[in-house]
Structure 1
Amino acid sequence: MSSSAIDYAAVFHALPGGVLLLTPQFVIVDANEAVFQRAGRERHELIGRGLFDVFPENPDTSDASGERNLRESLERVLATGSRDTMGLQRYDVEAPGRPGVFEERYWSPVNAPVLGPDGQVQLIVHRVEEVTEIVRAGARNHGGDRERMEAELYSRAKELQEVNDRLRRSHAREREVVLALQDAMLPAPRLMGHRAAVRYRPAVGALNVCGDWYDLAELPGDRMAVAVGDVVGHGLDAACVMGQLRSALSAATRVTRGPAQALEVLGIYARSVDGAESTTAVQAIVDWTTHTLAYSSAGHPPPALLHPDGRVELLDQATDPPLGARPEHVARPEADVAFADGAVLVLYTDGLIERRHEDIDVGLARLAAALTRHRGADAETLADALLAELLPPHGATDDAALVIIRL
Structure 2
Amino acid sequence: MTDYAKVFRALPGMVALLTPDLLYVDANDDFLRLSGRTREQLVGHHVFDVFPDNPQDPAATGAQNLAASLRRVLESGERDSLAPQRYDVESPERPGEWDVRYWSAVNAPVLGPDGRVELLVHRVEEITELIRSRGEAAGDGRTRVLEAELYTRARELQEVNERLRAAHAREREVALALQEAMLPAPGPIGPHRAAVRYRPAAGTLNVCGDWYDLVALGGGDRIGVAVGDVVGHGLAAAGVMGQLRSALSAASRVTKGPAQALDVLDLYARSVEGAENSTAVETWIDYERGVVTYSSAGHPPPALRHPDGSVEFLDRATDPPLGARPAHIRRPQAETAFGTGAALVLYTDGLVERRDEDIDAGLARLAETLRRHGEAGPEALADALLFEMLPVGGATDDTALIVVGL
The TM tier, using the shorter chain, reads: 0.7 to 0.9
Whether the 8 Å contact between 1:214 and 1:228 is mirrored in structure 2 is yes
Q: Unaligned regions of 5+ residues in structure 1, if any? A: none
Partner of 1:200: 198
- Written as runs of structure 1 = structure 2, the 5 A alignment for 1:35-50 is 35-36=31-32, 43=39, 46-50=42-46
Using the alignment, how far apart are the partners of 1:341 and 1:188 within structure 2? 25
* SS of residue paired to 2:254: coil
Partner of 2:158: 161
Using the alignment, how far apart are the partners of 2:47 and 2:214 within structure 1? 48
Deviation at 1:24, TM superposition (A): 4.5
Partner of 1:149: 146
Partner of 1:213: 211
Partner of 1:70: 70
Distance 1:50 1:403, change over 3 A: farther
Distance 1:141 1:230, change over 3 A: same
Distance 1:190 1:70, change over 3 A: same
Residue 338 of structure 1 aligns with an amino acid whose one-letter code is: A
Using the alignment, how far apart are the partners of 1:386 and 1:26 within structure 2? 34
TM-score by length of 1: 0.81
Using the alignment, how far apart are the partners of 1:319 and 1:188 within structure 2? 28
Partner of 1:281: 280
Q: What is the aligned counterpart of 1:131 among 127, 134, 140?
A: 127
Using the alignment, how far apart are the partners of 1:326 and 1:43 within structure 2? 54
Deviation at 1:8, TM superposition (A): 5.5
Residue 180 of structure 2 aligns with an amino acid whose one-letter code is: D
- Written as runs of structure 1 = structure 2, the 5 A alignment for 1:305-384 is 305-325=304-324, 330-356=329-355, 358-384=357-383
Whether the 8 Å contact between 1:306 and 1:371 is mirrored in structure 2 is yes
Distance 1:339 1:128, change over 3 A: same
Using the alignment, how far apart are the partners of 1:256 and 1:149 within structure 2? 69
Residue 296 of structure 1 aligns with an amino acid whose one-letter code is: S
* SS of residue paired to 2:260: helix
Using the alignment, how far apart are the partners of 2:288 and 2:96 within structure 1? 76
Residue 225 of structure 1 aligns with an amino acid whose one-letter code is: G
Partner of 1:86: 82
Deviation at 1:273, TM superposition (A): 2.8
Residue 196 of structure 1 aligns with an amino acid whose one-letter code is: A
Moved more, 275-284 or 201-210: 201-210
* SS of residue paired to 2:174: helix
Whether the 8 Å contact between 1:87 and 1:157 is mirrored in structure 2 is yes
Moved more, 242-251 or 274-283: 274-283
TM-score by length of 2: 0.81
Q: Unaligned regions of 5+ residues in structure 2, if any? A: none
Using the alignment, how far apart are the partners of 1:333 and 1:172 within structure 2? 41
Residue identity (%): 65
Partner of 2:294: 295
Deviation at 1:314, TM superposition (A): 0.6
Residue 279 of structure 1 aligns with an amino acid whose one-letter code is: S
Residue 178 of structure 1 aligns with an amino acid whose one-letter code is: A
Partner of 1:251: 250
1:22 partnered with 2:21: no
Using the alignment, how far apart are the partners of 2:175 and 2:358 within structure 1? 30
Distance 1:56 1:284, change over 3 A: farther
Partner of 2:403: 404
Distance 1:317 1:16, change over 3 A: closer
Distance 1:372 1:349, change over 3 A: same
The Cα offsets for residues 313-360 of structure 1, whole Å up to 9 and x where unpaired, read as 110112233333456665433222222333321111223333455443
Whether the 8 Å contact between 1:196 and 1:406 is mirrored in structure 2 is yes
Distance 1:284 1:16, change over 3 A: closer
Deviation at 1:304, TM superposition (A): 1.0
Distance 1:283 1:69, change over 3 A: same
Residue 67 of structure 1 aligns with an amino acid whose one-letter code is: A
Whether the 8 Å contact between 1:119 and 1:358 is mirrored in structure 2 is no
Using the alignment, how far apart are the partners of 2:374 and 2:85 within structure 1? 52
Whether the 8 Å contact between 1:191 and 1:218 is mirrored in structure 2 is no
Moved more, 101-110 or 281-290: 101-110
Whether the 8 Å contact between 1:195 and 1:379 is mirrored in structure 2 is yes
Using the alignment, how far apart are the partners of 2:336 and 2:71 within structure 1? 51
Count of aligned pairs between the two proteins = 399
Distance 1:116 1:164, change over 3 A: closer
Aligned Cα RMSD in Å?
A: 3.7
The Cα offsets for residues 253-287 of structure 1, whole Å up to 9 and x where unpaired, read as 22333322322332333333333323221111223
Deviation at 1:250, TM superposition (A): 1.4
